[in-house]
Amino acid sequence: MFITFEGMDGSGKTTQIVQLTDYLRQNGHRVLTTREPGGTAIGDQVRKILLDNKEGEDMHPRAELLLFCASRAQLVGEVITPYLESGGVVICDRFIDSTYAYQGYGHGLNLESLRHIITFATGGLLPDVTLFLDISPRKALERRAKATLFGDEYNRLDDMEMPFHERVYAGYKDLILAQPDRFIVIDADATPDVVQLRIRTALVPYLNLPTQPSEPPRAPKSSSKQKTAPMKKKSPRKDNLS
């Protein structure tokens, strides 16, 4: 089972992934957690080039795209596919949808060209389920600003202006509309514990989990806003363009 998390910077993905990983392990799943860009020794070097502010200032969007895809190709080949083939659950912090949203909708690169390059990089691998942590671009930037103030890793894309983040957000919404079976939208404008409970509930149809997920400490009741997808799917799933 291949699960990806998507959302604006500041949407809280990292915290949620840590908690979800613990929860899945407690319920008997073998789980590998990774992130993009990065997740391998080569990918971590590419991450530095991509996200380090000083050296990446004038990076052309096409160069940026190819570097994200280079990191992804390495991660899929070295880590994700072997783990999925061994029967484990992979949780990845960002995957192909980030490229469509940021390089496609954000920077305006041609979506059809992106599709070919992304498919080449992944060999056509698609997530079984993608959790989109939904908060508005403005809220996300506010949270992000606070987090970097308190020591979170700063990244070059933090310098982008509000209209860029609005295009990214609109892009995600388009992607979700186009693939409603793969995406689950989680209302992430709530405390981390509430968001975690929403995620656990949403994953019940996909994984062997208690039908009444246990609440993280002090979690209020779950919201009715989340959308759950109905079917279980087998992994690895392939894009038909491969």
Residue ranges that bind ligand TMP, judged by CB under 6 A: 9, 35-37, 68, 94, 98-99, 102-103, 155, 157
Nearer to ligand TMP, 50 or 219 (CB): 50
Structure tokens at 238: 């392939």
* The token pair that represents 108 in the structure block: 């305006």
Q: Shortest distance, CB of residue 232 to ligand TMP, whole angstroms?
A: 26
Nearer to ligand TMP, 68 or 183 (CB): 68
Whose Cβ is closer to ligand TMP: residue 215's or residue 239's?
Answer: 239
Largest CA distance in the chain: 50
Closest separation between CB of residue 95 and ligand TMP, Å? 7
Q: Which residue has the tokens 């957690």?
A: 33
Instruction: State the nearest-atom distance from the C-beta of 179 to ligand TMP, in Å.
Output: 17
Shorter beta-carbon distance to ligand TMP: residue 116 or 232: 116
CB of 61 to ligand TMP, least distance (A): 9
In the block, tokens 């975690």 appear at: 196
| Nearest residue to ligand TMP on Cβ basis | 102
Q: What angle do CA 153, 23, 33 make, to 5 degrees?
A: 45
Q: What distances in angstroms separate CA 13 from CA 45, 106, 179, one per listed residue?
A: 22, 20, 20
Query: Given phi > 0 = left and psi -120 to 50 = alpha, else beta, which region is 28?
Result: left
